Structure 1
């Protein structure tokens, strides 16, 4: 593809909007912004101060294993218990198809416009500023609450080895974990990229190891020599009955797992957030998006398939929530097969996953807050960067939320923290659906302004059907996720609020911004498809030649 250049001069609705490369007086007056970066953000008069220091291999590994965490490794047992082996497998297949369809939507937009703000900026730019404001703050709120949850999870994982686990011990572990995750981010995006590259290797090795070991045990290769095969698909059966007998119970078990599976995919869309800080973003993002299909197929669907072979859904251990490797269905299966060493290995690998998830959340939410501030949706001070492009104020603000992890040391406060975290469980589907709607307007905007999608670095030939798929299922799941509270004997006011409060909150945020700011909803032919979008020449980067054989292997696999 040739360099992106406007086919006609950009039209600006606000006097403050400046074309790329323009100088601004307030930047000179404000020492908080780096002056060596000439990019000026659309809809503001502030420099976009972040810099492209992340390598392509960092992006590839973050895309491959960035969101693999405790939800998949430890939470998969609950999906088997609720839906049975086939019910849980179908739930992961459907959720994986929704996630991938969303990714091709956000990927096409991010490759076209690799700038700060990620999908939040795309929503406010190509859908509506009010919706962008609402999605941005809901996602930031969600991530800030999940941040201490990952530290808590990691500290509990350590208790697997600490037999004298006490409150002071847990407090010390949480301080050390929070300090380590924060330090990685404050050292800069390159350090973050290197750490995620390392942790991703561990997670990938864990997944591959679990799949291979699981298949070996299933075929009778364990110390016990018991060949399981598809035994548990026949007895107790392929589908679990959830609350109701017969086909209705089997369907509800499958449907309930759609939320559980979505938790394992949570944050997968955040690869678009890193677009503003990766070298050669159009090439790196294109490769990352194309490889995500295989990641979803192997790391999620194949893993849950193997889990379903190893343990019957009637096993009471699947619903235990110890927070350590003892909750993993793989550990349950391996212990039954007589393998004693693997639980500690799995716990150590899952511990690195929890730590990595905390670091990744901190990176993502700090960049989202930075993007919101850059566009006037958050206090301007959050857009300050160091000379090296680090959004120092946003990072410092996000770090404060680690203090919420200490709420778990108090029983009542821990309940409040868990309730707030559950309150945001459906924000992911709201975000995915909104991204798909935004993509439809983006696609129409390109066509209206004479830009051929087929000339872009990345485009999906199946569109707009993937976008329609995301919108349909997101709507179904958001509307009916609370079905359980309406069944006889299961009404619970707090469960009802958790299931549906996100809808009115999202609506209030949209309405509130519209009442205060009164942004004009642009027609398709008015959408800004040009300003602040860098040309290929501005973001291209030639990888240096490999220095040794090891670097050659890494480049071959991850660039």
Structure 2
């Protein structure tokens, strides 16, 4: 494999003086011409700069997109399916998220370049599939930006219930979020590092506090144990009674849990702007499994121990920390002050998630642009490697959060939020499908993938698992609409399926692309060598250095 890795980009595009596009081969029918102004040559695509450090990447990997979906969504899942049903749902969705992260981590270990998995899909599945994947992931992240801004504003209602102040809060958050991304990737990395620390401290603190309260350590000294697993029970029912109702309740958890997990692939999106990307992303992916187990799975277990699934406070329409099972349990245990602290941390989490989705959307748009799948102007970078036009364009969509100030627009905005979750399942499916083709191509061309800095010994079985469940989520996410049919809910649940295939077949017909055979796949054009991206690893020698290495 070392011989392959030493193949330089200049050798790739010097043959016969022609330009080879890794997504389109050498067929002139759909080659995108190079243009010096935007630096479109496939051997030198990335104009962004590697300014994210190891600690940035590690924190982004686990906490970059954690928002209200985890802190408040766990309560909604508990209310829908009961403690055991919510746990089963989170375990299944967590395993699917992990399969997707392992897949994209291995592909990124080979090719840490802009465009990430949409570009991988174009190189190793079909250029049209890559375009559909990129367009889907782009608008999924784009719509999630105003969703998180809105969530952050609603969380502020815990302290300020004056509805007229929402406009000012919304404007302030949009400006702050945009400014962080406009200042550059270092500002983004530093902000997400500290926001992620706050999130992880909050999650850890809530789990510990929940266990203390459950075991009778609160001011009221009431020991709860697994009382609520017995009464009202471990499973709730939904739409139907009996086993059918319990099964449907677990199905209902999948979409909510998916919203909590989605965004973990952000670490791969940042690969082109990361120092030592292969080593740092490999390290991040290896650690995510244990973090999923602790922060998500243990967290949902503790949640189910604190509050019964039929609790009126849990089922209320509150959108601040007041709806969190932890806050409900803390208040009832007689602990004062903590709910405000928790709400402040939830607010910072919502803001951080919106900040991360803005970064992600702008980099996907940039990756599409440099490969001719979006207007070329979005490929423009400043001297410091910031795709400024892509950032400004994506930041403008944060203004959609003002829709929620108007009651008349609330339903439309809710549709957008639901669309983003289903779009995330399409992205995960595409990641796993692309990995399967990547695996076949490596095998067909005699490339030893075990020589990569990161590879998963459970592949390709993990990707089979991921493809099956993501297809299941996409097909059955709107099952409840068939029990009480209405057009708007059906549209919300399934329009994304139509959009994805419109993107796919539209690009395929327009560009006359083809499905790549394993022997035809291009694994080398425009991919930097290990020597170009990685510096020599120097292990820490001091105690503080070793602690920092263990944590980050």
Instruction: Give the TM-score taking structure 2 as reference length.
Output: 0.93
Equivalent-residue separation in structure 1 for 2:60 and 2:193 (angstroms) = 7
Contact 1:46 1:374 in 2 (8 A): no
Q: Deviations over 1:273-332 (max 9, x none)?
A: 001010001100110000010111011000000000000011122222322111111111
- 1:125-204 to 2 correspondences below 5 Å: 125-163=123-161, 165-167=162-164, 169-204=165-200
Q: How many pairs align? A: 540
Give SS of 1:426's match: helix
1:312 equivalent in alignment to 2:324? no
Corresponding residue for 1:5? 6
Equivalent-residue separation in structure 2 for 1:233 and 1:319 (angstroms) = 17
Give 5+ residue unaligned stretches, structure 1. 34-39
Corresponding residue for 1:342? 338
Contact 2:64 2:266 in 1 (8 A): no
Give SS of 2:232's match: coil
Q: 1:6 Cα shift?
A: 4.5
Corresponding residue for 1:17? 20
Aligned counterpart for 2:474 among listed residues 466, 478, 499: 478
Give SS of 2:158's match: coil
Give SS of 1:450's match: coil
- 1:227-246 to 2 correspondences below 5 Å: 227-246=223-242
Equivalent-residue separation in structure 1 for 2:243 and 2:403 (angstroms) = 42
Q: 1:46 Cα shift?
A: 6.3
Q: Deviations over 1:27-62 (max 9, x none)?
A: 65x2x66xxxxxx753xx764200111101110111
Equivalent-residue separation in structure 2 for 1:98 and 1:117 (angstroms) = 22
Q: CA separation of 1:454/1:485 partners in 2, compared to 1, >3 Å: closer, same or farther? A: same
1:213 equivalent in alignment to 2:209? yes
Equivalent-residue separation in structure 1 for 2:73 and 2:182 (angstroms) = 31
Q: 1:423 Cα shift?
A: 2.7
Q: Deviations over 1:502-558 (max 9, x none)?
A: 111111111111111111322110000111111111001357898997666434421
Equivalent-residue separation in structure 2 for 1:383 and 1:13 (angstroms) = 27
Off by >4 Å, runs of 4+ in structure 1: 6-15, 24-28, 542-552
Q: 1:480 Cα shift?
A: 1.8
Give SS of 2:310's match: coil
Equivalent-residue separation in structure 2 for 1:473 and 1:447 (angstroms) = 25
Contact 2:140 2:424 in 1 (8 A): no
Give SS of 2:510's match: helix
- 1:323-472 to 2 correspondences below 5 Å: 323-472=319-468
Q: CA separation of 1:159/1:543 partners in 2, compared to 1, >3 Å: closer, same or farther? A: farther
Higher mean C-alpha deviation, range 189-198 or range 492-501: 492-501
Contact 1:27 1:47 in 2 (8 A): no
Contact 1:449 1:525 in 2 (8 A): yes
Q: Which has the higher helix share?
A: 2
1:500 equivalent in alignment to 2:490? no
Contact 1:223 1:338 in 2 (8 A): yes
Equivalent-residue separation in structure 2 for 1:530 and 1:104 (angstroms) = 21
- 1:68-147 to 2 correspondences below 5 Å: 68-147=66-145
Contact 1:53 1:189 in 2 (8 A): yes
Contact 1:10 1:528 in 2 (8 A): no
